[in-house]
Every structure is written in C-alpha cells, then in structure tokens.
A and B are shown apart, each in its own frame.
Chain A
Amino acid sequence: NAGVMQNPRHLVRRRGQEARLRCSPMKGHSHVYWYRQLPEEGLKFMVYLQKENIIDESGMPKERFSAEFPKEGPSILRIQQVVRGDSAAYFCASSRDEKLFFGSGTQLSVL
C-alpha cells in the first residue's frame, strides 16, 4: 500500500506564475489535509477536504490560494501569482481513521 504521494518534490516558479501542487492520498483514504511550513518555522494548517467538499479552510490565505479534492484524481493546492513569501514546504496528509499520514512534501521556491 503506497503512502501519501506528493508531486512534484521540488517546484521552482518565478514571481507572478502559478504553482500547482498535487497530493494522492493513501488508498481508501477520503480525507486530505494541507499544511505549510515556512523556513525554520512550524507546520501551519491550511485546509481540510473530503471528496468534492471543503470541510475547513480556516488556514487558507484569503487570496491567491485554492484547493480541491475531486471525485477522481489527486487533491490540488493551487497558488496563483506566486510571491517570494510563498516559498515554503507544503505537506499533504490523508486519513481514514484516527491517524494522519503525511507525504514527503513539495518544496516551493519562488525566484
């Protein structure tokens, strides 16, 4: 049973471009969580999704950020018009019961 898969592992974007981060949950998991970790800082909750539903987006920035978890396919975290402050590690987790399992993350670098 493969773990939570995130791609790409590293993503480089120039200011103003769009970044798309993908997360494939573990087989049978219907809940997906996204977290952001700025350099030398802790993990910050962004959004919690179930299939086709956003359950909790209290940690999402009000502008430029969006997330989806369609009926088919991976969950996508989309950042429009990236700025240097968006440079961070973005982690996805999935769960089916009490435990969250995390992926290896996507390191976003904005030039």
Chain B
Amino acid sequence: DAKTTQPPSMDCAEGRAANLPCNHSTISGNEYVYWYRQIHSQGPQYIIHGLKNNETNEMASLIITEDRKSSTLILPHATLRDTAVYYCIVRVDRDDKIIFGKGTRLHILP
C-alpha cells in the first residue's frame, strides 16, 4: 500500500506556479520522497526526489517540512503540457520497488 496521501485533483492556471501537496506522516528516517508524473498513456516520468533538504532541478522544486511528514512539489511556471497525474512516493533506497498510489490529477487551465 502507498504510504502517502494526495488530493485527487487540482487545477492551476497556465503560467502560474502549481503547488502539489503530499502527506507522508509515517515516513521513516531512511525513506526518500520521490515525485513522478504520468502524462496520459505514457510511462511515468521521474521529476525529483529528496531526503531532508529542499531540492530543485530543471523541472521542479521539492519542499520537505522539517518533521518530514509532508512535502510540496512546485512547478514554477505551469504549462498545458504539465497536465498529468502526479505521484508522491516514499522509498527506502535504490533497491526498493516504487509503490504508486492514486496520485493527484493536475489540470492546467488555459
């Protein structure tokens, strides 16, 4: 079973920042937070991951609370191509499988 809780859907206006929340209140000290997305009919795409510190890459930023019980994925300037299902996942290490929950369906509105 997935160890995370996400809202089922969200809307965001094109050009604005999309902030996707995730609760992982039972996360263990050695578990990472990963984000993936799945654009319709395509394979999931890796976005970002982190352990304790906030992370940023060319796609997004990941903000993890100090107690690590929740996190937020930020897409700084959402475009229509960001419309997808976004999955927040906790994972122990590289040898652990990824368990997908139901994710958040993000709609970018023109």
Contact = CB atoms under 8 A, between A and B. Distances in A.
Contacts of B95: 31, 55
A46 B36 CA distance: 18
Contacts of A99: 46, 49
Q: Interface of chain A, helix or strand or loop or mixed? A: strand
Contacts of A56: 97
Contacts, number: 48
Interface residues of A, number: 24
Contact of A91 (B43, B46, B93, B99): B43
Contact of A100 (B32, B98, B102): B98
Interface residues of B, number: 20
B38 interface: yes
B98 A45 contact: yes
Nearest to B48: A99
A102 B49 contact: no
A102 B45 contact: yes
B94 A43 contact: no
Nearest to A107: B41
Interface in B38-92: 38, 41-46, 49
17 contacts: A4-B43, A35-B100, A42-B100, A42-B103, A43-B100, A44-B100, A93-B43, A98-B32, A98-B49, A99-B49, A100-B36, A102-B44, A102-B45, A103-B43, A104-B43, A105-B42, A105-B43
Given A100-B46, A102-B43, A104-B43, 11 more contacts: A31-B95, A35-B100, A42-B102, A45-B99, A55-B95, A89-B41, A91-B44, A95-B94, A100-B36, A101-B46, A105-B42
